[in-house]
C-alpha cells in the first residue's frame, strides 16, 4: 500500500488524501483518533488509523497525511481544541501527536506563523469574535483507553426553507448587490424589482500594500451605484460613461458628482446591501486574513498587518453609510453566497431545498458555500480552497509557489492544496506541465501571446504591466472547445477529477445533507468546459451531480432580467444578484 503511494508520488503523480485515508482505515492497526471541540461546544470524532511504518520515508508520508487531515479540519470546521487519542506505548504515534504543537506553531504569534500555522491565525480571529477570546486553541494528547464518546450536538428540527420568500421582498425596495473577487468587483442595483444599473471594475487586490487601497474603491463604487440608481429611479437618463468597465477613477468621480446633482432631493440610500467577500466572514466581520487577496498587505513590513486587516474587517460598518436608518448590510464569503444564490433560484421553481445547498465558485481561487434551509450560513471558516488533497506530486513541489508549474500554495507554501488544482491556478499548472510535451504548438502560442512568461527559470502568468490571468484562462477554455486539442480538453477533465476528490473530502469532514454541487465562476461559463469537468468527475465519482450556474439558474425575476441582458451574463453577475436577495434576508423580522 505505502509502496504504491510513494511510487506514484516519486513519479510526480497525485496521491489523493481520500485514497490514503481509505487504505489506512482498512489496513491500519495503530489508532490516531481526533476528537474536535467545535465553536458551539459540541464534538466531532475522526477515528484515524495508521499502518506500521518501515522506514523514515514512510514515516514522513504518514505524518504528511496526519498534518493534512488536521489542517483540513481546522481550515473548514475550526476548533476550540483537538484531543488526540493514541496508544501512549507506541513511540511513533506519540511522537507524531506531541509534534502537532510544533508543526502548527501553537505558541507563536500570528506574524510568526507559516505553513500549517496559518490555519490557527484564522481560527484565533474567529475565536475572538464568537467566544470573545475566552479560549485559546490547544492540542491535548491522551491514551486511547481514556477516549470517551464525543458530545455530539443534537440535531435541531429542520427549519422551513426561507429562500422562496426573498424575491418578493425586492419588489418595492432599492437594493444593491456587490460581488468582490480577486480580479474584479461586480455591482448591480435593483429598483422596485427591476435591475437598473450594472458596474464591473477590474482590480488586483493581492498587489495592494495598504488597507485603503482595498476599502476606498469599494466605497467609491458604492457611492457611484447609489447615485446612478437614484437617477434611474427618477426616470432620468443615467450617465453611462462612469459605469463602463474601463472608466478611470477620475471619470467615476465626475460621474458621481453629476449624477448626485441630477438626483437632487431624490438622492436616497439603499434599503439593503448584500456583499460577497472572498474571505472568512463571521457575524458580518471579515476575519480570515490569510488569503491571496491580502498578500501584498501581509508582506508590507512597514505597516502592522493586524491593524491594517482590522480596518478591512469592518468594511460593513463603512457600507452602512449607504443604507437607510432601518436598512441592512449583509456580508458573507463568496462561496456561501454562491450556495445561497443557487438555493433562491431553485426554490423559485419549487425545487426541494430542504437540505440546504452546497456550491463552489471556480475563479481566481476555489470558493465554497454551504447554506442551511433557513438561509443561515454555518459560522465556521469553510476555507475549503486550503484543503490539502494531494500528498504526492513530489517533483512539482520543487518549484517556487509563484511558478505556474508549482503545487505549492502562494499564501502558505503548503503543497497539494486546492488552490493549485480546481481554479484558474489549476488550469495554468496543467497547461504548463503537460502541453510542452503533449501539445507544444499550443504551449508556444501561449508564450508568444505573453500568457506565459519566463522570468529566469520561473514560468509565470504576468500581472504587470497588464494582468494576463483572465486572458490566459480564456485561451485554454477556447482551445478546449476547438477540434484537435485533446490535451487541452484533458486539462478540464482533470480539474473535474480534482472536484470529485473535493467532494469526497467535504463529505467526510463537513457531512452536509446537501450532496449535489452547484458550480459558479469563469471556469463553468463555457458549456464545453463544464461538460469536460463533469466527465472528469465521473471517472472517480459516477454518481456525483454537478450543476452549472448558467442561464438554467435564471428562475427569479431579477435573474431572468440578467439572463436577458444584451451585455452581461448570468455566469458573470449571478452572485451580485444573489447578494441582492441576501441583503433582503437582513430585512426579515
Q: What is the pLDDT of residues 36-46, one digit of tens each?
A: 999 999 999 99
DSSP 198: E
* Res 161: pLDDT: 76
pLDDT at 357: 87
Do strands 357-362 and 366-371 pair parallel, antiparallel, or not at all (unpaired)?
antiparallel
Measuring CA to CA, how many Å separate 141 from each of 96, 97, 213?
Answer: 10, 7, 45
Judge whether 334 lies within some domain.
Answer: yes
Whole-prediction pTM: 0.82
Span of 86-100, 128-142, 171-185, 419-433 with lowest mean pLDDT = 128-142
Check: CB of residue 15 under 8 Å from CB of residue 5.
yes
pLDDT of residue 196: 95
Contact 159, 373 (CB under 8 A): yes
- In a shared domain, residues 580 and 516: no
Report yes or no on 212 lying in a domain. Answer: yes
Write the DSSP assignment of 434-469 as a string of letters. Answer: HHHHH-HHHHHHHHHTTSSEEETTEEE---SSS--H
Query: Which of 114, 146, 178 delimits the end of a domain?
Result: 146
In this structure, the answer to whether residues 329 and 415 fall within a common structural domain is no
Among 98, 118, 146, identify where a domain stops: 146
Q: What is the DSSP letter of 226?
A: H
3-state class (DSSP) for residue 426: helix
**What values do phi and psi take at 129, rounded to 5?**
-80, -50
Q: How far apart are CA 462 and CA 108, in angstroms?
A: 34
C-alpha cell at 510: 463537513
Residues 231 and 260 both lie in one domain: yes
Distance in angstroms (rounded) separating the CA atoms of residues 97 and 92: 9
One domain for residues 417 and 537:
yes
pLDDT of residue 222 exceeding 80:
yes
> To the nearest whole percent, how much of the chain has pLDDT over 70?
99
Tally Cβ neighbours within 10 Å of residue 187. Answer: 26
Same structural domain for residues 311 and 388? no
User: Given this model, what pLDDT does residue 551 score?
Assistant: 62
For the cut 90, the answer to whether the pLDDT of residue 335 exceeds it is no
Per DSSP, what are the bridge partners of residue 453? 460
Q: Are strands 270-277 and 323-333 parallel, antiparallel or unpaired?
A: parallel
| Same domain? 201 vs 286 | yes
Q: Using the 3D structure, point to which of 146, 180, 205 is the last residue of a domain.
A: 146
Output the DSSP codes for 288-302: ---SGGGHHHHT-TT
* Rounded CA separation 78/25 (Å): 23
Omega of the bond leading into 439 within 30 degrees of 0 (cis): no
Contact 574, 559 (CB under 8 A): yes
Find all residues with CB under 8 Å of 325, minimum gap 6, and list them.
none
Gap between the Cα atoms of 209 and 281, Å rounded: 22
pLDDT tens for residues 518-572?
888 888 888 999 999 999 999 999 999 998 876 677 999 999 999 999 999 887 8
* Cell numbers describing residue 117: 500555522
Grid cell at residue 481: 472547445
Contact between 558 and 190 under an 8 Å Cβ cutoff? The reply is: yes
Domain containing 194: what range?
163-349+555-585
At residue 289, does pLDDT exceed 90? Answer: no
Evaluate if residue 277 carries a pLDDT over 70. yes
Does the residue 156 lie in any domain? no
- Per-residue confidence (pLDDT) for residue 159, from 0 to 100: 66
The SS3 call for residue 57 is: helix
User: Cβ of 25: how many Cβ atoms within 10 Å?
Assistant: 12
Work out the average pLDDT over 110-130. 91
Report residue 6 as a C-alpha cell: 510513494
- Is 48 inside a domain boundary? yes
Do 140 and 187 lie in one domain? The reply is: no
Contacts of 160 (CB under 8 A, 6+ apart): 373, 374
What count of other Cβ atoms lies within 10 Å of the Cβ of residue 65?
20
Q: What is the mean pLDDT of residues 412-419?
A: 96
Based on the fold, state whether residues 276 and 332 are members of the same structural domain. Answer: yes
For range 201-213, the mean pLDDT: 91
**Residue 128 CB partners (closer than 8 Å, separation 6+):** 287
Is the CB of residue 406 less than 8 Å from the CB of residue 429?
yes
Domain identity same for 183 and 259: yes
- CATH number reported for the structural domain that contains residue 572 in this entry: 3.30.420.40
3-state secondary structure 244-267: CCCCCHHHHHHHHHHHHHHHHHHC
Kindly state whether residues 274 and 390 are assigned to the same domain.
Answer: no
Q: What 3-state DSSP class applies to 331?
A: strand
* pLDDT tops 80 at residue 158: no
Residue 294 lies in a domain: yes
Task: Please count the helices (runs of H) and the strands (runs of E) in the chain.
Answer: 20, 17
Residue 341 falls inside a structural domain: yes
Tell me the helix, strand and coil percentages in the chain, rounded to 5: 50, 20, 35
Do residues 201 and 221 touch, judged by C-beta distance below 8 A?
yes
- Give Cα 408 to chain centroid, integer Å: 17
Statement to judge: residues 224 and 312 lie in one domain? yes
**What local confidence, expressed as pLDDT, does residue 500 receive?**
98
Residues forming beta bridges with residue 368, ordered by sequence position: 360
DSSP per residue over 361-395, as a string? EESSSEEEEEE-TTS---SS---GGG-B-BS--TG
How much of the chain, in percent, has pLDDT values that exceed 90?
Answer: 76
Q: Do the domain assignments include residue 240?
A: yes
**Three-state DSSP class for residue 142:** strand
| Nearest-angstrom CA–CA distance, 307 and 311 | 7
155: in domain: no
Determine the pLDDT at residue 525.
82
Same domain, 266 and 328: yes
Count: domains in the chain: 3
Our CA angle for 418, 424, 426, nearest 5°, is 50
The pLDDT tens digits for 60-114 are 999 999 999 999 999 999 999 999 999 999 999 999 999 999 999 999 998 899 9
Amino acid at each position: 500500500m505505502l509502496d504504491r503511494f510513494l511510487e506514484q508520488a516519486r513519479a510526480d503523480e497525485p496521491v489523493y488524501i481520500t485514497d490514503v485515508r481509505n487504505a489506512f482505515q482498512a489496513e491500519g492497526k495503530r489508532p490516531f483518533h481526533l476528537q474536535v471541540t467545535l465553536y458551539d461546544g459540541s464534538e466531532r470524532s475522526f477515528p484515524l488509523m495508521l499502518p506500521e511504518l518501515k522506514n523514515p520515508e514512510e514515516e514522513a508520508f504518514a505524518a504528511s497525511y496526519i498534518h493534512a487531515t488536521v489542517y483540513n479540519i481546522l481550515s473548514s470546521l475550526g476548533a476550540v481544541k483537538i484531543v488526540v487519542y493514541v496508544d501512549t506505548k507506541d513511540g511513533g504515534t506519540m511522537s507524531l501527536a506531541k509534534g502537532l504543537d510544533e508543526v502548527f506553531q501553537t505558541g507563536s504569534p500570528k506574524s510568526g506563523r507559516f505553513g500549517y500555522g496559518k490555519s490557527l491565525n484564522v481560527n484565533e480571529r474567529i475565536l475572538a469574535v464568537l467566544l470573545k477570546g475566552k479560549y485559546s486553541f490547544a492540542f491535548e494528547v491522551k491514551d486511547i483507553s481514556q477516549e470517551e464518546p464525543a458530545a455530539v450536538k443534537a440535531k435541531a428540527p429542520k427549519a422551513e426553507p426561507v429562500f422562496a420568500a426573498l424575491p418578493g421582498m425586492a419588489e418595492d425596495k432599492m437594493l444593491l448587490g456587490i460581488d468582490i473577487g480577486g480580479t474584479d468587483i461586480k455591482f448591480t442595483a435593483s429598483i422596485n424589482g427591476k435591475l437598473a444599473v450594472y458596474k464591473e471594475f477590474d482590480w488586483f487586490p493581492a498587489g495592494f500594500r495598504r488597507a485603503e487601497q482595498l476599502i476606498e474603491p469599494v466605497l467609491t463604487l458604492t457611492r457611484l451605484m447609489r447615485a446612478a440608481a437614484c437617477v434611474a429611479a427618477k426616470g432620468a437618463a443615467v450617465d453611462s460613461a462612469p459605469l463602463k468597465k474601463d472608466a478611470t477613477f477620475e471619470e467615476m468621480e465626475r460621474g458621481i458628482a453629476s449624477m448626485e446633482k441630477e438626483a437632487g432631493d431624490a438622492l436616497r440610500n439603499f434599503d439593503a446591501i448584500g456583499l460577497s467577500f472572498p474571505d472568512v466572514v463571521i457575524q458580518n466581520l471579515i476575519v480570515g486574513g490569510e488569503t491571496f487577496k491580502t498578500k501584498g498587505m501581509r508582506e508590507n513590513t512597514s505597516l502592522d498587518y493586524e491593524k491594517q486587516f482590522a480596518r478591512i474587517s469592518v468594511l460593513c460598518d463603512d457600507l452602512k453609510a449607504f443604507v437607510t436608518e432601518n436598512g441592512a448590510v449583509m456580508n458573507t464569503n463568496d462561496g456561501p453566497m454562491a450556495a445561497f444564490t443557487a438555493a433562491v433560484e431553485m426554490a423559485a421553481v419549487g425545487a426541494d431545498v430542504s437540505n440546504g445547498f452546497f456550491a463552489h465558485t471556480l475563479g481566481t481561487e476555489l470558493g465554497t458555500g454551504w447554506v442551511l434551509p433557513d438561509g443561515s450560513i454555518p459560522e465556521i471558516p469553510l476555507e475549503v480552497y486550503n484543503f490539502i488533497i494531494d500528498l504526492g506530486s513530489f517533483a512539482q513541489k520543487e518549484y517556487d509557489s509563484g511558478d505556474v508549474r508549482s503545487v505549492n500554495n502562494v499564501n502558505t507554501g503548503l503543497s497539494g492544496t486546492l488552490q493549485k488544482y480546481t481554479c484558474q491556478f489549476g488550469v495554468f499548472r496543467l497547461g504548463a506541465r503537460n502541453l510542452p510535451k503533449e501539445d507544444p504548438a499550443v504551449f508556444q502560442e501561449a508564450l508568444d501571446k505573453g500568457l506565459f512568461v519566463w522570468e529566469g527559470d520561473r514560468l509565470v502568468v504576468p500581472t504587470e504591466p497588464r494582468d494576463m490571468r483572465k486572458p490566459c484562462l480564456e485561451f485554454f477554455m477556447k482551445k478546449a472547445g476547438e477540434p484537435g486539442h485533446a490535451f487541452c480538453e484533458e486539462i478540464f477533465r482533470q480539474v473535474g477529477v480534482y472536484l470529485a476528490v473535493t467532494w469526497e473530502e467535504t463529505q467526510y469532514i463537513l457531512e452536509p445533507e446537501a450532496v449535489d454541487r452547484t458550480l459558479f465562476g469563469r471556469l463553468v461559463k463555457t458549456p464545453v468546459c463544464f461538460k469536460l469537468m463533469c466527465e472528469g468527475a465521473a471517472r472517480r465519482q459516477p454518481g456525483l451531480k454537478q450543476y452549472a450556474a448558467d442561464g438554467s439558474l435564471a428562475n427569479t425575476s431579477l435573474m431572468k432580467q440578467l439572463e436577458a441582458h444584451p451585455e452581461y451574463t448570468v455566469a458573470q453577475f449571478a452572485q451580485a444578484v444573489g447578494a441582492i436577495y441576501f441583503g433582503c434576508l437582513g430585512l426579515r423580522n
